[in-house]
Amino acid sequence: MRKKGAVGILLLFALFFGPLGVSGEDGVKDVFLFVGEREVLGFSALGNRWVALNLRSEETALEKEYGGRVAVVVTNFRVLGFSALTARWAEENLKVGESIVTLEAEGNVGAVVTTLRAFGFSAKTGSWTVRRFPLK
C-alpha cells in the first residue's frame, strides 16, 4: 500500500512540475543576427553557418530583432526574415509610404506590422505570409 501512495505522489508531482523542466522551446536561441553597412548576416546554429544578404544601394537597416530560430530586419525598402531551420533569407518589398508599427522575433515566429500590412515569418517554412489591412 505504501508503494502505491509514493508512486501516486510522484505522478502528481510530475504532472504539476514536469512540463516546467521539459519545455525545450523556452530560451532556445539557434540564430544570431549581425547588421553591417552593406550586408546582413544570419547565423544558423542548426546549420552551423553564416548566410549573407547584400543590402541594396541606398538601403539602410531601420530596425532589427532576433530570438529563438528567427531574425527579422526592416530596412527602408524591405522586410527581411532569416530562419535558423532553413538557413536562408526571405524578403518582402515595402510599399511607398509604408512605415513600421511594431516588430517581433521569438521562437519560430517573426512579425512585422506596418501602417498597411501585417507580415508573418515562419522559421519552419522560411517564408513570409502577408496580410493587407482593409482600406478605411
Count of domains observed in the chain: 1
Per the CB < 8 A criterion, the answer to whether 40 and 78 are in contact is no
91 domain residue, yes or no: yes
49 domain residue, yes or no: yes
- Partnered with residue 63 across adjacent β-strands are 74
CA end-to-end distance (rounded Å), the chain: 70
pTM: 0.80
Domain with 48 in it: 31-132
13 domain residue, yes or no: no
Residue 103, Cβ neighbours under 10 Å: how many?
Answer: 19
CA dist., res. 50 & res. 113, Å (int):
27
| Span 13-44, pLDDT tens digits | 333 333 333 333 557 799 999 999 999 999 99
98 domain residue, yes or no: yes
CA dist., res. 3 & res. 7, Å (int):
6
**pLDDT for residue 111 is more than 80:** yes
Which residues does 102 contact at the CB level (< 8 Å), separation at least 6? 111, 112, 113
pLDDT at 84: 98
6 domain residue, yes or no: no
| Span 68-89, pLDDT tens digits | 999 999 999 999 999 999 999 9
| Average pLDDT value for residue range 36-56 | 97
